[in-house]
Structure 1
């Protein structure tokens, strides 16, 4: 083939190759939607949990800001009657939509250390991690001890709060969290501690604390500043008698216990 013919073929094929390359770049950009196509950054569960937690925190802040805007607009429309204002304040404290302060204690729960897991390959893995039942047992004991308010991972616990186990993370208000888990309660510290000591479930948990070094630590606090609940108050599973039930999508969760 002559040099002239080779040159002509090159001139003819070069635009086609460039067009194909451009198409690949455009397809890649469309699929990525501006994100990194390399999966290594978020392949670990910890990375996914942290990403979702940050996203949830951002949405929660936006919700709080919008709620404040609504309250300001309501205030501009005129003040409400003093009796109604007091009733609203009392109900807000009971529901958990206002911040509170006071003495109390914090319970921290942790999974067994990685070295303990390696040293006990024949032990059921469920025995070496904290489950939703463990967190629920602590929360229930604190309520029984007269807690005025409780938070988990610095998120206020209200009447509709659900604690769910998904894999080796715990989901609270739709957001996954990894250990350590911190449960904080405001109230009489002696009564709260006694309620923890009297809990049969927590007494059973202490056996695993001794055998497999699960983390269980109670710390007294002289002053706790607990945030208000800033999420939605809509019911997701329960219904109010006399009101029609509205079906809602609920993610499937699995949990295991000792």
Structure 2
């Protein structure tokens, strides 16, 4: 089921709107929809009970028939029929945004969501050693792959809050976080999208507190060694951005 559902994510589809935003839920008259509702236009001639229901996000200005992208599939335990979440072309919503908007409706069904796009948050951590700076990176204990410390954003968090939480959870460090941030988008083997948001931060703690069940260990590397160690070309670019950012900060502090 999960493999089939993943194949549907990110697909384009022609969608027909049949319930406007603010309309009443048929089963619960006291409940109104925060988004428009619709179905696949190809199912127009089917009886209503046989159509797939679609939550439509970001469709305030679209006509009653439009081209959209499937951003999530929803499986209710009581039904074999999937529900969908879609948005007009050019608009993307991540799992946090969809859950925040639709969780009220689907929580009562104990529904299972599969999302097209996830948000990963982390931090590019640097420590000043006077004559040089070193970057704190994560080395996977099994694969030995080195990357930045990052994890999936939790429901209800801001991106900055998630970045600080992730670093604190995995290292015990409470970083001083710059407002400076960068982001990039990656695809996965399943066709999903991953939007990665990295803040820049410094730390002063002498001893790290790594959870016993952590799948990686931390490594503290100078720039030249760090950039050779990173496997992901995008992360090498981020490291260069970070070095430039912190070099400017250090020059500013020294009055140069």
**Which has the larger share of helix?**
1
TM-score bracket, normalised by the shorter chain, equals under 0.3
TM-score normalized with structure 2 length? 0.23
Higher relative contact order (CA 8 A, sep 6+): 1
Between structure 1 and structure 2, the one with the greater Rg is 1
**Which has the larger share of strand?**
2
